[in-house]
Structure formats: structure tokens, C-alpha cells
């Protein structure tokens, strides 16, 4: 009996060790960026942003960023645990990872801070903007100036940093979460000033695009992020 008991116990130990070893060497799935579902129809932001631009922007440009960053993450064996974790370490990775991770994240953010029939900021957002910039009009003027002043492609942002609001811009697909960004903070609002965001409707008139974009800002979403 003692011998049989010993053999049974040894067998259980071997099985447990094998299972533990398999678990220890189980390959962890790499991080994958996801393209969030557009929260409105392609034509919902007309006449300020036309349906064809929205469709191409979402189905072609944004989808490509998501596809490309996931391919790069797998190819480069990147072990970041979350999208934000990867962005915070952007300087460690290739240009392909940096650019496409930014493009994927920035566009998910951009769709959410817009909605049909946007109005003026109210409540705590209005109070914060008035306190930081003097008035909503002065804020819009400064933000629009930053968006116009971004040479080439990029983004303009409203961020919160150390309890204060700030406006700035980033080049290409950089964002304020990245360690390489010239602007840092928690993103609250952003406008895409790449030409693909407006060229079909506004051609080279970036100023007209920016002026009309204020009509679709989702201030409720800004309030949530504040």
C-alpha cells in the first residue's frame, strides 16, 4: 500500500510540474490596438464634415493605422501591456510603431470628442476654460491659432497637466501621452489638421475647416475626461 501510495503521489507531482511548466512557458498574446466603432453615421456631422471625408478617414486612414501598428507590435515583439503603456514608451520603438500607434489612438479619441449638433461648453468645462483663458472666445481663438500654426500635418490639443489647462500641438501622429511629445498632459480635446481630415470639402482652406469644426465639438465628452 505504501508503495502504491508513493507512486500515485509521484504521478500527481509529475502532472502538476508538467502543467506548471506549460503555464510558465505559455506565450502571451501581444498587445493589439482596436478601432472603436464610429459613434455616429458618416453623414452625421454634415455640413461641417462631409460624409465622404468621414468614410474615407475612418475606413481607410484610421483602419490602416490600426492594422499597421498591430503588425509592427507583433514583428518587433513589443511587450507593452496597454495602449497607454506603449505610448508612454514611444521613444523605445521604431518609427512605424510610434506613427501608427499614435494614428490609431488619436483617431479613436477624435471620433469621441465630436458629435452632431455641438454647442458651447457649459458647467465645469466652461468654468475651467474661463479660468484658464479668460473666456470661451479667447480659448477658441488660441486653440484655432495653434491648429493653424501647426506646419504640415499634426494635431492641436487641449490638455490638463498638473491641474491646469494648456493648449498646444503635436507633429504627425504624436500625442501628449508620448514621452517624445513636445506637449504633455491628459488629452481633453483635439482636432486633426492632416489634410486628409478636410481636403475633400475645404481643399487647402484649413481655417474654414477649423472654424466649422467648433460646431461639432462634444463638450460632454470633454467634461468626462476633465
pLDDT in tens, 153-207: 999 999 999 999 999 999 999 999 999 998 999 999 999 999 999 999 999 999 9
What is the pLDDT at residue 118?
77
Give the global pTM: 0.86
Query: How many residues are recorded in the chain?
Result: 226
Using DSSP, state whether 133 is helix, strand or coil.
helix
E strand or H helix at 156, and its extent? strand 154-161
Q: What angle do CA 167, 217, 160 make, to 5 degrees?
A: 30
Domain 49-226 has CATH 3.90.1150.10: no
Q: Which sequence spans correspond to the domains of the chain?
A: 49-226
Per residue in 109-148, pLDDT (tens digit) is 999 999 998 778 999 999 999 999 999 999 999 999 999 9
What is d(CA 215, CA 81) in angstroms, rounded to the nearest whole number? Answer: 37
Of 103 and 17, which is predicted with more confidence? 103
Cα dihedral angle (168, 173, 176, 181), rounded to 10 degrees? -90
Amino acid at each position: 500500500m505504501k508503495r502504491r501510495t508513493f507512486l500515485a503521489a509521484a504521478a500527481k507531482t509529475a502532472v502538476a510540474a508538467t502543467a506548471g511548466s506549460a503555464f510558465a512557458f505559455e506565450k502571451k498574446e501581444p498587445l493589439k490596438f482596436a478601432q472603436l466603432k464610429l459613434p455616429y453615421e458618416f453623414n452625421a456631422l454634415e455640413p461641417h464634415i462631409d460624409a465622404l471625408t468621414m468614410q474615407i478617414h475612418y475606413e481607410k486612414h484610421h483602419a490602416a493605422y490600426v492594422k499597421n501598428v498591430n503588425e509592427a507590435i507583433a514583428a518587433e515583439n513589443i511587450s507593452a501591456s496597454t495602449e497607454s503603456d506603449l505610448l508612454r514608451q514611444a521613444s523605445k520603438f521604431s518609427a512605424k510603431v510610434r506613427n501608427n500607434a499614435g494614428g490609431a489612438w488619436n483617431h479613436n479619441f477624435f471620433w469621441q470628442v465630436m458629435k452632431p449638433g455641438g454647442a458651447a461648453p457649459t458647467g465645469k468645462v466652461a468654468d475651467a476654460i474661463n479660468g484658464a483663458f479668460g473666456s470661451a472666445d479667447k480659448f477658441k481663438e488660441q486653440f484655432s491659432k495653434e491648429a493653424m500654426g501647426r506646419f504640415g500635418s499634426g494635431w492641436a490639443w487641449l490638455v490638463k497637466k498638473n491641474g491646469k489647462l494648456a493648449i498646444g500641438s503635436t507633429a504627425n501622429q504624436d500625442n501628449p501621452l508620448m514621452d517624445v511629445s513636445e506637449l504633455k498632459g491628459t488629452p481633453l480635446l483635439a482636432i486633426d489638421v492632416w489634410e486628409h481630415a478636410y481636403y475633400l470639402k475645404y481643399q487647402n482652406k484649413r481655417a474654414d475647416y477649423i472654424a466649422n469644426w467648433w460646431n461639432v465639438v462634444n463638450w460632454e465628452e470633454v467634461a468626462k475626461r476633465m
